[in-house]
A and B are shown apart, each in its own frame.
Chain A
Amino acid sequence: MPRARATASRRARLLAVGAIFGLGTAVAACSDGHVVASDSQQLYLKVPSSWTVFSQKALAQDGAFGSLFTSRPIFATFASADPHARPGDAFTPSLYPWAIVVVRPLSGTEQSEMSLNGLRDVLMNIDSLQTQGSNVQPLASPALLKNGSLHGTLVAYELQGSQGGPAMAYEQETWVNSATDKVWVLMSGCSPSCFQAEGPVINRVMQSFLVLDRGVHDN
């Protein structure tokens, strides 16, 4: 009986997840925006329809984009409002807002040492940038996020490299599973003036981010 109940409960959850995905896609189809979704990675995001979205395949073929990562993501997608957007524009103080979604495994060391604070460093290592002399300013207090077995943080920073140069502002939402071996990250940013002007758009993109993975695989 308990097993039957568990199976029924699992089915109900799967149906709910399926329904959310279906509903999300249907709503997105009727509304203004590109839907970026991955069934295998259980994530969903919507960006304005005017943005250029680069598929995972296109990004895999782009050397500039690949060079941005030290460890290869399981999933990555990049979208930008720039009419001449290139995949390598991620993490730049562009005059147009951009958004990048990355799903990647955590190494053994990262797994044992990862804290909620550490989640901010999974795409861009703020800690080492600060050590190297970059000026890093938090734009908001970090917020703790939780969804079942997934937990995470929402942070916003403005940073300027140690050599001066243009500053960049961004917001980042990061989720990690219970086993602490996988992260789902959305980062959206641009130059500080753009970040301020395009705040509502960036906010909508951030709020559309959904990670539906249950975040659990018991051992």
Chain B
Amino acid sequence: MTTSPDRGPGSTREARWRGRARATVAAAALSAILAWLLAGCSTSVDYVGTASQGVFFKVPNTWDVFDGATLKRLGLAVAATANAQATASGTSYPVYVIMAAAGRGVIVKGSPNFFGPQPWALANVVSFGASDQAGISLVGLNDLLFPIDQWQQDGLSVQQIGNTILIVRGALRGSRVTFEAQTPSGTLGFEQVALINSPTNKAWDLAVGCSLACFQAHRRVLDSIVKSFTVTVRGT
């Protein structure tokens, strides 16, 4: 009687090994599918914004979201009395400000550090005074957060990355732009999406960024935040 090589003691070990390997692969695949399914059920992002101003965006749920009181301390949000004065004098003022960042390290000595190594996202809703209303253009929206035009006039190195993307959403019009700049405060990379309504008296904008190296390293996350930016008002 001859023994088939397939049925020898060595081949039994091999078969057992193969069986174990198959089981491991199957378990890994099952775990991956389970993790993927669970990820679908859980939220890896936080929604940030306000229904009253019709503005929302998503940030990773590991990020810190700064409340109104903190933003006032940082000088990013303005008190209602100041806004009333601005309305009376016909100047522009922020109606709503919200900021989120990858960590509290974005605040340095009581001020926001937009040029640091931690990515941030800052959304603004701005009410325009008569002068800004008459003078604002699509290119002017670039200056809503950082004075890009002024920086260029001052001879700072400011480079637009890619083309300006024009956005039209019903009566809302706007743009999406990316800039890299070398400023006295440090290098800065940021992407901004801004929309303005038909009467041209209100703008909604979201900027995301950090230092140039950080911006390039976190481009994917920042891009997904910009893509999530939603303005729900009709803009007429």
Contact = CB atoms under 8 A, between A and B. Distances in A.
- Identify whether the interface residues of A are mostly helix, strand, loop, or mixed: loop
A78 B133 CA distance: 32
Among B140, B166, B167, which residue has the most Cβ atoms of chain A within 10 A?
B166
B171 A112 contact: no
B173 A178 contact: yes
Given A112-B164, A148-B236, A149-B170, A178 B137 contact: no
A218 interface: yes
B133 A116 contact: yes
B28 interface: no
Interface in A137-161: 142, 144, 146, 148-151
B128 to A, nearest CB: 10
Interface in B171-211: 171-173, 175, 198-200
B139 A144 contact: no
Contact of A178 (B133, B134, B139, B172): B172
A3 interface: no
Interface residues of B, number: 23
A148 B198 contact: yes
Among A149, A150, A179, A215, which residue has the most Cβ atoms of chain B within 10 A?
A149
Interface string B71-86: 0000000000000000
B164 A117 contact: no
Contact of B138 (A111, A116, A148, A149): A111
23 contacts: A111-B166, A113-B137, A115-B140, A116-B133, A116-B135, A117-B134, A144-B133, A144-B199, A146-B198, A146-B199, A148-B171, A149-B170, A149-B171, A150-B198, A151-B200, A178-B171, A178-B172, A178-B198, A179-B166, A179-B168, A180-B173, A216-B171, A219-B168
Given A149-B235, A149-B236, A178-B170, 16 more contacts: A111-B138, A112-B138, A112-B139, A112-B164, A113-B137, A142-B134, A144-B200, A146-B236, A149-B170, A151-B198, A178-B168, A180-B138, A180-B173, A215-B171, A215-B198, A219-B167
Interface of B: 133-140, 164, 166-173, 175, 198-200, 235-236
